[in-house]
Amino acid sequence: MSLKHKIINIAVIAHVDAGKSTLVDAFLSQSGVFRSNEVVKDCVMDSNDLEKERGITIYSKNCAINYGDYKINIVDTPGHSDFSSEVERVIKTVDTVVLLVDASEGPMPQTRFVLQKSLELGLRPILFINKIDKNDQRAEEVVDEVFDLFVDLNATDEQCEFPIIYGIAKQGIAKREMDDDSNDLSPLFETIINHVEAYPAYDEEPLQLQVSALAYDDYVGRLGIGRVYKGTVKNGSQVSIYRGEEFVSKGKISKLSIYEGLKQVEVEEAGSGEIVVIAGMPNISIGETLCDMENPNPMEMIHIEEPTLSMNFLVNDSPFCGKSGKFVTTRHIKDRLDKELEVNVGLKVEPMDTTDGYRVSGRGELHLSILLENMRREGYEIGVSKPEVLMHKENGKLMEPMERVIVNCPEVYSGAVINKLNLRKSMMESMSIEGDYVKIEFIAPTRGLLGYRSEFINDTRGEGTLVRSFERYEEHKGAIPGRSNGVLVAQGPGSTMAYALSALSDRASMFVDPGVEVYEGMIIGMNSRKDDMVVNPCKNKKLTNVRASGTDDAVKLQSARIFTLEEALEFIDDDELVEITPDAIRLRKRFLNETDRLRYNKSRQSK
């Protein structure tokens, strides 16, 4: 007997903040997944703490709804290009994608990236123009822009004939035309069902199940998540595991689950087209195929984009080591990185020449800083070096990654932005003015963008937005100027004093407030000049019996600049580190002792 009931798998793809997770919330609530008395939080799919705080999706997740006699498996994907390795795998398991585009913003760089992957795999997207209730919506123009984007990305004639739905994800409304009186998502459900055929019934063929994502369960260990392309998968059955054409091992499925709503439900068997979760294979990896023992028919491995950025994760050797963290040794760091590699395929970890750390490569600053933030919250202490862009050679030429940068800022600040990005070897591609704002597109080397975001925020007085995504590799662009200011370095250990900080703040901006414990070699501020300066922030006013009017007023200090993890990684120079602990993010020199620093700088100059 065939287990077939009509299955369609869809992925929701879009730029960050276009409303992907909100649309999935509406899908779930309108298909009766939640009880009438159940309290449902926004963005229910963004379950990770960091996802909730930042309002972004980092890990793709699955859920399922029933509509009529169809079962629709929905995958909510990340929009940031740093998590592109998540997106690429997910798109392979779906029958179509719902491309979500903001009715006023139009297509953004990440929209381009995720759409390109979908078109390459031959999928026929459905366009959902979201937020049509905005005052500045321009839905008709945006549809034309999306069509141009399809043509740019070499879409086939069939792919270019995409159905268009207009809607407001937050209110759970979808319309075929802007002036429809539809008040739910029925038009979108109907369009999905009419646009995509349900997965064909391949239940009787030999098993072919490709793992596209991994998860971990404290009770049953590693879980493989993937689609049953052919055959029927049964709980307790023996399977052979292949990596491409190469046989890896045999395995036994100890637990089999499918998605119903947001929950995983254990089942005895699942048919073709279904997305399943399997347990029992501790070494299963992404891209591997589970095949029938008698008639193996493996699929080719999933290609994952190469990392573009690397950092050194070092053992924290500062005087404050171990004060707040539980895991401080190389072995602890290695175990945690090994665990991360099990589920994070965009990551690459290599041992360094010395024994005090690892070189970790990823798809961008956000990709690596999310990992660091998670480690920090779990009780790890690490020293991290300045991010380095990964180059490669092609036909004897050095190639470096380039990014597409879209800047939206008030016109009055555009001159400063263009000037700074030109210095960083960027090429302007287009510029358009919309009211008081200007939208500029650049192609810029990734190297030139490191450390630029905080300058951009200052130059645009916080009113500009900067969106970037990987575009291609180009020939090396030559030297790019780095940070132009030196830093203030603490001379010795102690607690900072308002009196000393007040005197220093005349010629520097401070990174610490009074009463903060510091150590020799810790960075406490940014100098107004280009040289580093060793200072004593712990000096207090000498107390005498003599009092003079006017000289004993209370010290007034501006509040210190507090760095987020990403800002700290962008700020540091080659000879500096970010010390990351559960309770603090500190900036420090790689060599804490001043004599060691002078010796190191001399050796660099002589090379």
Is residue 395 part of an annotated ligand binding site?
no
Is residue 130 part of an annotated ligand binding site?
yes
**327: helix, coil or strand?**
strand
Element (H, E) at 151: helix 139-152
Q: Could you tell me which residues are beta bridge partners of residue 404? A: 443, 469
Element (H, E) at 256: strand 255-260
Q: How far apart are CA 391 and CA 226, in angstroms?
A: 33
Is residue 19 part of an annotated ligand binding site?
yes
Q: Contact at 8 Å (CB) between 173 and 163? A: no
Is residue 317 part of an annotated ligand binding site?
no
Q: How far apart are CA 101 and CA 96, in angstroms?
A: 16
Is residue 425 part of an annotated ligand binding site?
no
Is residue 22 part of an annotated ligand binding site?
yes
Q: How far apart are CA 489 and CA 586, in angstroms?
A: 12
Three-state helix/strand/coil letters over 538-568: CCCCCCCCCCCCCCCCCCCCCCCCCCCHHHH
Q: % helix / strand / coil in the chain, to the nearest 5?
A: 25, 35, 40
Q: Contact at 8 Å (CB) between 177 and 187? A: no
Is residue 152 part of an annotated ligand binding site?
no
- Tokens linked to 517: 């414990």
Is residue 132 part of an annotated ligand binding site?
yes
Is residue 235 part of an annotated ligand binding site?
no
Q: Contact at 8 Å (CB) between 293 and 250? A: yes
Q: How far apart are CA 175 and CA 164, in angstroms?
A: 9
- Tokens linked to 423: 């210095």
Place of tokens 């000498």: 542
Strands 126-130, 96-102: pairing is: parallel
- Tokens linked to 196: 């995509």
Contacts of 376 (CB under 8 A, 6+ apart): 382, 565, 580, 581, 582
Is residue 17 part of an annotated ligand binding site?
yes
Q: Could you tell me which residues are beta bridge partners of residue 309? A: 362, 389
Q: Residues forming the annotated binding site for GTP?
A: 17-22, 130-133
Q: Residues forming the annotated binding site?
A: 17-22, 130-133
